[in-house]
Structure 1
Amino acid sequence: MVGYAQGFKRWLRSLLLLSLLTATGTQAGGEVDLIIDTDPGADDVVALLFALASAEQLHVRALTTVAGNVRLDKTTRNARLAREWAGRDEVPVYAGAPGPLLRTPIYAENIHGKEGISGVTVHEPEAPLAQGSAINYLIDTLRAAKPHSITLALLGPQTNLALALIQAPDITQGIKEVVVMGGAHFNGGNITPVAEFNLFADPQAAEVVLGSGVKLTYLPLDVTHKVLTSDARLEKIASLGNNAGKVVGDILNDYVKADMEHYGLPGGPVHDATVIAYLLKPELFSGRKVNMLIDSREGPTFGQTIVDWHDGLKREKNVFWVENGDAQGFFDLLTERLARLK
Structure 2
Amino acid sequence: MAAERKKVIIDTDPGIDDAIAIFVAFQSPEIEVIGLTTIFGNVHTTLATRNALHLLEVAEKSDIPVAEGSHITITEGAKLQSTGHVHGTDGLGNQNIHPPKGKPIEQTAAEFLIQQARIYPGKVTVVALGPPTNIALAIQLDPEFFKNIGQIVVLGGAFAVNGNVNPAAEANIFKDPTAADIVFTSGADVLVVGLNITHQVVLTGVFLHDPTALLAAVNPSVFTYSEGVVRVQTVGITKGLTIFYNKKKRFAEVTEWSDEPSIKVAVTVDAPKVLKLVMERLLNS
Return the TM-score normalized by structure 2.
Answer: 0.90
Matched, 1:160 2:160: no
Matched, 1:85 2:29: no
Report percent identity of matched pairs: 33
Alpha-carbon distance between aligned partners in 1 of 2:103 and 2:64, rounded to the nearest angstrom: 11
Aligned to 2:254: none
Matched, 1:64 2:37: yes
Map residues 303-342 of structure 1 onto 2, 5 A cutoff.
303-308=240-245, 311-312=248-249, 318-341=262-285
CA shift digits 1:85-136 (9 cap, x unpaired): 2221111111010111123323222222211122644331223222221122
Aligned to 1:111: 86
Aligned to 1:279: 217
Query: CA distance change for structure 1 residues 312 and 194 in 2, over 3 Å: closer, same or farther?
Result: farther
Q: In 2, are the aligned partners of 1:289 and 1:317 still within 8 Å (CA)?
A: no
Alpha-carbon distance between aligned partners in 1 of 2:139 and 2:266, rounded to the nearest angstrom: 25
CA shift digits 1:128-172 (9 cap, x unpaired): 2222211221222222333x2211111111111111211111122
Letter in 2 for 1:286: T
Deviation for aligned residue 1:198: 0.5
Q: In 2, are the aligned partners of 1:143 and 1:173 still within 8 Å (CA)?
A: no
Aligned to 1:100: 73
Alpha-carbon distance between aligned partners in 2 of 1:121 and 1:323, rounded to the nearest angstrom: 39
Aligned to 1:75: 48
The Cα RMSD (Å) is 2.0
Alpha-carbon distance between aligned partners in 1 of 2:89 and 2:162, rounded to the nearest angstrom: 26
Alpha-carbon distance between aligned partners in 2 of 1:317 and 1:102, rounded to the nearest angstrom: 22
Return the TM-score normalized by structure 1.
Answer: 0.76
Alpha-carbon distance between aligned partners in 1 of 2:268 and 2:164, rounded to the nearest angstrom: 18
* Structure 1 spans left out of the alignment, 5+ residues: 1-26, 231-266
Alpha-carbon distance between aligned partners in 1 of 2:217 and 2:142, rounded to the nearest angstrom: 26
Query: CA distance change for structure 1 residues 61 and 303 in 2, over 3 Å: closer, same or farther?
Result: same
Aligned to 2:255: none
Matched, 1:127 2:71: no
* Structure 2 spans left out of the alignment, 5+ residues: 252-257
Letter in 2 for 1:306: I
Q: In 1, are the aligned partners of 2:130 and 2:172 still within 8 Å (CA)?
A: yes
Map residues 15-30 of structure 1 onto 2, 5 A cutoff.
29-30=3-4
Highest Rg: 1 or 2?
1
Deviation for aligned residue 1:313: 5.0
CA shift digits 1:248-271 (9 cap, x unpaired): xxxxxxxxxxxxxxxxxxx22111
Pairs aligned (count): 276
Alpha-carbon distance between aligned partners in 2 of 1:340 and 1:140, rounded to the nearest angstrom: 32
